[in-house]
Structure 1
Amino acid sequence: MDALIYTVMSGAERIQRAQAVHANNLANLETAGFRANLEQASAAQVKGYGYDARHLAQERSDVISAKAGSQRETGRELDLAVQGDGLFAVAQDGPDGREAYTRAGTFTLDAEGRLMLGRHAVMGEGGPIVLPPHDRLEILSDGTVSILSGGATEMQPVDKLKLVKPDFATLTKNEAGLLVPRSGNAPVSDPSVKVAAGKLESSNVSAVEEMVATMNLARDFELQMRLYKATDGMADTGNRLMRE
């Protein structure tokens, strides 16, 4: 069988995977802090006798777009947005206490005073942040969490958000959509990362770019199917010549 068929089918498979990546990006268009995935593929030779004239598309790990999303004012004291580069640290699911990272800053307080992002505990520099009863809460630009409680007249710092600034090329996404290091090693806090309270960062997905990419992939898939039919026709012709 001519090795061209492997090239065609690997190309079609890559396109289907790319369509899934762009569909997921579009589905998270309104998800605060979402980072778009970018699919990658490379060419690999199909080994065989004689000259290696055929290649196939080989999928590579997706990379994550580091482009910043737009920010909007909310006025809510537990809504935070990273200014410039940087990420919040939260606890992953499970008992091992490993960290994950995100740009999403829609934080809440649970009944036990834990600062949460959905079901994930927000990490401070000493572990999950747990606040005592208070009358007022303030989070400063460096991530310091201060409260006013009892008869106090001044805000008292109780913890500090863990803010990190890893290279996005070293990150991937886990099953929850949070960013985790490929190496498994947690990055250290970076004091240069700043946040702003009362703001939220939107997804960095561009609906126009994703739709254009999806249409281009549809045309590419149609081309792959034409090549598949041509390959099938060449195989039939070869078989007929051998019979004759």
Structure 2
Amino acid sequence: MDRLVYTAMTGARHILEQQATTSNNLANATTTGFRAQLDSFRAVPVQSEGLPTRTFVVDSTVGADFRAGPIQTTGRSLDVALRGEGWMAVQSSDGSEAYTRNGSLKVSENGLLQTTSGQTLVGENGPIAIPPQSEVAVAADGTVSVIDTSQTKPGPANVLGRIKLVNPDTRGLERGTDGLFRQKSGLPADPDVNVRLVDGALEGSNVNPVDAMVNMISLGRQFETQMSLLKNAENNAAKATQILALT
């Protein structure tokens, strides 16, 4: 009974953790540029002085699904989507460099170019400041230019800088608690001139809501199976106690 209880208990625990992951993916099915989190189970034997007859279950996080999401045209000048592989560099809350594919941009109260989540975009020469009363345009290579709209006749476009676009190896990326990706080495990635943007468009989440719902149902049934095993173990123990009491 000990082996059965140990295995079923750890299995049920990590099924709950995977349900939390799937719920988070489902909740972000409409989040711009979101990358689904992937988990997998593996059995690990319990090392002890006795025979290796017991195992416990570990929810081994594989990482993220880096497949591209669908690109939807918005027509908004501050909406950009990454074409193919690549990331935009942003400054996270702790000041470190992080990476995102959320191309829904805005101009902050201080005139800095940011994502709608509040992260300041990193330019190749630092943050990009947008002057007031300006119309912003982002080119395919990340170049940010503005046209002064305060005059009756708009003047020529002025280049303010270029968004830092990178394409590090996805095997070296890890997701932070803030949803942004960083290099495991802690070092900033080098700019990649081959990364391209699509203006007036946004990349949707790569989460498939139908697959996520099916996975939730499957995990719920797996949890019920683990609970049934624990109930059977309890019944077996009760029957064994009755037999021992008779003898």
Structure 2-normalised TM-score?
0.89
The corresponding residue for 1:98 is 96
The corresponding residue for 2:190 is 188
After TM superposition, the structure 1 stretch with the greater mean CA deviation from structure 2, 150-159 or 83-92, is 150-159
**CA distance, structure 1, for counterparts of residue 197 and residue 243 of structure 2:** 72
Residues 22-33 of structure 1 mapped to structure 2, 5 A cutoff: 22-33=22-33
Residues 172-187 of structure 1 mapped to structure 2, 5 A cutoff: 172-187=174-189
Asked if 2 retains the 8 angstrom alpha-carbon contact of 1:113 and 1:133, the reply is: yes
Deviations 1:194-236 (A, max 9, x none): 0011000111110110011111111111111111112223333
The corresponding residue for 2:105 is 107
The corresponding residue for 2:80 is 80
The corresponding residue for 1:222 is 224
The corresponding residue for 2:140 is 141
After TM superposition, the structure 1 stretch with the greater mean CA deviation from structure 2, 232-241 or 181-190, is 232-241
**CA distance, structure 1, for counterparts of residue 157 and residue 176 of structure 2:** 37
* Secondary structure, aligned partner of 1:131: coil
Asked if 1 retains the 8 angstrom alpha-carbon contact of 2:141 and 2:196, the reply is: yes
**CA distance, structure 1, for counterparts of residue 28 and residue 15 of structure 2:** 20
* Secondary structure, aligned partner of 1:146: strand
Question: Residue type matched to 1:155 in 2?
Answer: A
- Give the CA deviation at 1:242: 5.1
Asked if 2 retains the 8 angstrom alpha-carbon contact of 1:40 and 1:63, the reply is: no
**CA distance, structure 1, for counterparts of residue 162 and residue 200 of structure 2:** 17
Question: Residue type matched to 1:124 in 2?
Answer: G
Question: Residue type matched to 1:122 in 2?
Answer: L
**CA distance, structure 2, for counterparts of residue 58 and residue 236 of structure 1:** 29
Question: Residue type matched to 1:31 in 2?
Answer: T
- Give the CA deviation at 1:75: 0.8
**2:202 pairs with 200, 206, 230, which one?**
200
**CA distance, structure 2, for counterparts of residue 238 and residue 185 of structure 1:** 60
Question: Residue type matched to 2:3 in 1?
Answer: A
Gaps of 5+ in 2: none
- Asked if residue 17 in structure 1 is aligned to residue 3 in structure 2, the reply is no
Asked if 1 retains the 8 angstrom alpha-carbon contact of 2:38 and 2:61, the reply is: no
- Give the CA deviation at 1:189: 1.2
- Give the CA deviation at 1:144: 1.0
Structure 1-normalised TM-score?
0.90
* Secondary structure, aligned partner of 1:189: coil
Gaps of 5+ in 1: none
Deviations 1:122-147 (A, max 9, x none): 11112222123464322111111122
Question: Residue type matched to 1:146 in 2?
Answer: S
Question: Residue type matched to 2:137 in 1?
Answer: E
Asked if 2 retains the 8 angstrom alpha-carbon contact of 1:37 and 1:64, the reply is: yes
Asked if 1 retains the 8 angstrom alpha-carbon contact of 2:86 and 2:168, the reply is: yes
After TM superposition, the structure 1 stretch with the greater mean CA deviation from structure 2, 25-34 or 123-132, is 123-132
The corresponding residue for 1:129 is 128
| Residues 239 and 52 of structure 1, relative CA distance in 2, 3 Å threshold | farther
- Give the CA deviation at 1:34: 1.1
**CA distance, structure 2, for counterparts of residue 25 and residue 201 of structure 1:** 16
- Asked if residue 233 in structure 1 is aligned to residue 235 in structure 2, the reply is yes
* Secondary structure, aligned partner of 2:51: coil
**CA distance, structure 1, for counterparts of residue 188 and residue 237 of structure 2:** 53
Alignment RMSD, CA only? 2.0
**CA distance, structure 2, for counterparts of residue 140 and residue 36 of structure 1:** 28
* Secondary structure, aligned partner of 1:3: helix
* Secondary structure, aligned partner of 2:210: helix
- Give the CA deviation at 1:13: 0.7
* Secondary structure, aligned partner of 1:157: strand
- Give the CA deviation at 1:82: 0.2
* Secondary structure, aligned partner of 1:122: strand
**CA distance, structure 2, for counterparts of residue 228 and residue 154 of structure 1:** 74
